[in-house]
Each structure stands twice: as structure tokens, then as C-alpha cells.
Amino acid sequence: MSHKLVVATEPFVNFVSDAFLKKFILNLRTDYTLNFLTTRNFGSSIKYKGSWLTIRPTRNSQIAKIPNRINTASKLHFHNSDTTPVASTDRCPLCEKTTNTMSRLGHCAEHQWVCGSHDGRWLVMNWGQECPTCKVKRDCRVCKINQHPENQPGDSANYPEISEKILIIPSASDFHVHFRQGDLMNMVVPRIVEGGISLCYVMPNLKPPITSTEQALVYRDKLEKLDPNVSFLMSLYLNPDLTPEEIRKAKEAGIVGVKLYPRGVTTNSDIGTESYKVYYPVFKTMEEVGMILNLHGEIPSDIEQDICVMNAEEKFLIHLKELHADFPELKIVLEHATTKAAVEMVKSLGDTVGCTITIHHLQLTVDDWAGQFHNFCKPVAKFPHDRQALRDVILEGHPRFFLGTDSAPHPAHHKECAQSCAGVFTTPLALPYLATILDSFNALHMLKSFACENGKKFYNIKEEKCREIKLIRENWLVPNSYPFCNTQEEKSGIVIPFWAGKTLTWKIDSN
């Protein structure tokens, strides 16, 4: 069969439907300028006037995955070929590495971004590096020769100030975090600022859980005494004794939300929810006064119903949809999403539905926690395609997805045992973790919006304790442990952090 090769020589955007692509392919002419072309279509063939077009990147193609709001033109040329060509031996124009060392996006992993075409050649650049031809530095990924739009939608107007080795952003907000009690709390809370965080939404699953306004205020006072430089937003544990009257009282006292835990699905959820309908009067009052409903999005495992930790989140999503339909003005947050299905569900619902994503779920898959208790958490990390969906929605810049670390410390001997406790500890290194992971899939430019802006906008929070954070590109090792004085068990204890002993590539400058 005869094929023609569509050679793509400019950046692509990976957020366009196949129908859109086909519509324009069928109208192609030589040198036709096409606004979007999807990288996922490489290798596919479309019949055109009796011939087959095969989409392939070839020599001089440098492919950058960039936000879909940016309209980057792509020129397509026809080249005759009797058979589908094999991959070329393209080289990175800076380091001359060939395709076998290129990333899946088609460019050298050490030279992440693409500047505009100068004298017919694409320059592969680090984000923020000054283009040697046009001298534009801010966001050279979208520049064209002699065309550098100021504050183009999706451009660097809302991106952090960044250079090759320095990243400056506001302090981050963590909209899902556990601080525990007693000695563990005394160790964790003073380390919040070390991780670049200045605002925390505190989970209520203590022993006993925080079920009343008075309990929430007492706990907040303890946290503020440990670190007055952090803003603590408090929540209540949904339980049968919670009434509409208590909701109004909580709102007046500054309590932000109510956390729904299905019974038995995670740490300290023994008095969790079994039925949602009985709480409809509470949800109605929350909708009226403007409180947030936070959902642990899993249902309990049930062998007879074929439900386990791997599908518990997806099985829960119908409840999210029903709650949103019944209370469309109630702000609902699906916590710590781990599946592609969860991402798609949240995106399909209205503007009153948001979603937190943890640091560790952006890195882990099922293979990373099976048999490795320090990576075990609830909900568990899922499949690679689920992790990719979490990464993609951050790259997309979706405003209703934001950081909630779900940092949940446990003493090491409670993790390293037959019945390992669920939880991953990330608080002391939150921003270095996140910057390192985002940088690994070319999403560092989304750090500011994901970690510092989206959550506060969704919660309608104006923070007073925000400060400037300076991150520097530097390799360094995660501490192997964090010690604390365990007076309850009359011995010293340690907490093992996420990625203990591994290398991070970004570090907060403490000078």
C-alpha cells in the first residue's frame, strides 16, 4: 500500500480531538498551516484523495507539550514515500543527542523547551532561558520569529518567575493535611514552613474525631501556638450528631467545611458515613451558609460486590454526581483523586465541584506500594494511565484541581508491621517534592497555579500570611527520618518521609 508522510516541523499540542485533526487533514495543501496537531496521532493513517497519509515526526521536529490555551501554528508538508518510514535519527540542536536518548515528546530531556524558528531552525531551550536570537526570555516556548505576544492567554503572565536554576513563587496552600496529636503533632507542625506552606486545611479524623465547633477551635489553638505563621482552616467530621444548627454555629466561628468519610475506608474512619440521605438537611444548610463538603472518595471493600481498594474510588463517583445534582450550589471537593475516572467526573460537573491531588499520587503507581509499606496510603495509587490523567489535568491548567498533600505521618513501627497504617509523610518537603515531580514531566510552569492559586480561588480564601518562596535547582537527598519524642510509649520515635534517601532536584533557599 502506498503511503504519504506528513512531516511536522513545529510544536504540537496534545489536547485536540481526532475529529478536529481529520477535518483539517482532509483539506490539506502543501505548506498548509494548521493550528493544532495531536502527538497521540503519530503513526495513524488517514485516507486522502485515494492515498494514505501517515503522521510521523521527522528530522528537525522538536515537540513540546504546552498548555492547550496557546495557539501554536504547525506547518505540514507532504513527502512521497512508498512505505511507512521508520523513526529518524534526529538530533537535539544543542547537545547533538540522537532520538534514542530523546524523551517521549521528541526532544532531549535535558533541553525541555522549544523557542520560535530562527533561520529555519528550532532552538531547544530551558524554560526561562534567553533566546540567543530574539532575546526574549519569559516563556520562549510559544514565541515565533518577530512575534512575542504580551500576556497571551495561557502565556507567562500567570506563570511563576523562573530562570534555569531559580524559581520564585508565593508560599503554597495545602488543602488536605493531617497533623495528628500529641508528640507527633509537636514534631510535624513546626515543619510546615520548611516545606514552603503557609495555609493548611486540617483534616478532622483525630482520636476522638473533631465533631463539634468547640473541638475544632481548641485544636486550632494548639496548632497556632506551635506555629503562628501558618493559617489553619478547620473542618468537622460528618457524624450522626451533626445538625443544621451546629453547621450555622461552625460557620459563624470560621469553620470552613465538613469531611465525609465512608465508614472504615481509612485511618480513624470507624464512625464514618453509611448513608448519605440522612445528612441531606445538613448538606442543605451547608449549601445555604457557604461551607465546603469534602469527600473521601471511596466506598468500603465488599467481596460479594467485587469492590476492593483498586476500584473503590471509581465505584464512589456515582455518589459525587448525585450529591452535586441534589445540591448544585454546595461546594464539594473530591479529595486525593487517584484515577482517570475521577478526573473525568470532576471535569464533567459544575464549577462548584473541585478536586485535590496529592504529591505522592503524581509519582506512585500500584507497583510502588505493593510490598512497600512506606508508600502505602488510602486511597492507594492506581495504574500508570491513572497517574497520567492526574499529570495531564495539571498540565492542562484546570482551575478546579489543586494541591492537597494528604500528608499523614505515622511512627515508623506503625508502618513497618503486618498491619501497616495508611499514610505518606510529605509536609517538611512539600514544595521541593512537588517541583521535582512536576519538572520531571515538563509541568514546572504550573506549580504556582496548582499549589498557590487554584485552591484559594475555589475556597474563596484571602490569605494574610503568604510569603515569597525561592526554590533553587540543586540535587540533594531527602532525610532518612524525622525523630520525635514519643512520651506515650516512653521511647524515641521516627517518621519515615516519602522518598527517604532519594534525590530531589529542587530545594527551598533558606537564606
Q: Residue by residue, what is the 3-state secondary structure of 122-141?
A: EEEECCCCCCCCCCCCCCHH
**Residue 165 bears catalytic tag:** no
Which phi and psi (to 5°) does residue 388 adopt? -65, -35
**Residue 259 bears catalytic tag:** yes
The span from the CA of 296 to the CA of 306, in Å, is 20
- What is the helix (H) or strand (E) element at residue 492, kind and residue range? strand 491-495
b/e per residue 235-254 (b: at least 16 CB within 10 A): bbbbbeebeeebbbebbeee
Residue in 176, 331, 445, 507 annotated catalytic? 176
The span from the CA of 48 to the CA of 24, in Å, is 11
Q: Residue by residue, what is the 3-state secondary structure of 137-176?
A: CCCHHHCECCECCCCCCCCHHHCCEECCCEEEEECEEEEE
The span from the CA of 47 to the CA of 429, in Å, is 52
Sign of CA dihedral 119, 122, 124, 128: positive
The span from the CA of 10 to the CA of 117, in Å, is 8
Q: How far is CA 141 from CA 72, 112, 124, 126, 154, in A?
A: 10, 9, 9, 9, 12
Residue in 111, 296, 374, 415 annotated catalytic? 296
Alpha helices in 357-429 (DSSP H): 366-369, 384-396, 412-415
**Residue 336 bears catalytic tag:** yes
Residue in 331, 336, 415, 448 annotated catalytic? 336
Residue in 315, 406, 448, 507 annotated catalytic? 406
Report the SS3 class of residue 267.
coil
The span from the CA of 424 to the CA of 410, in Å, is 8
Residue in 111, 148, 178, 374 annotated catalytic? 178
**Residue 324 bears catalytic tag:** no
* Beta strands per DSSP E along 339-400: 353-357
Residue in 65, 107, 148, 259 annotated catalytic? 259
The grid coordinates of residue 226 equal 506551635
Residues designated catalytic: 176, 178, 259, 296, 336, 406
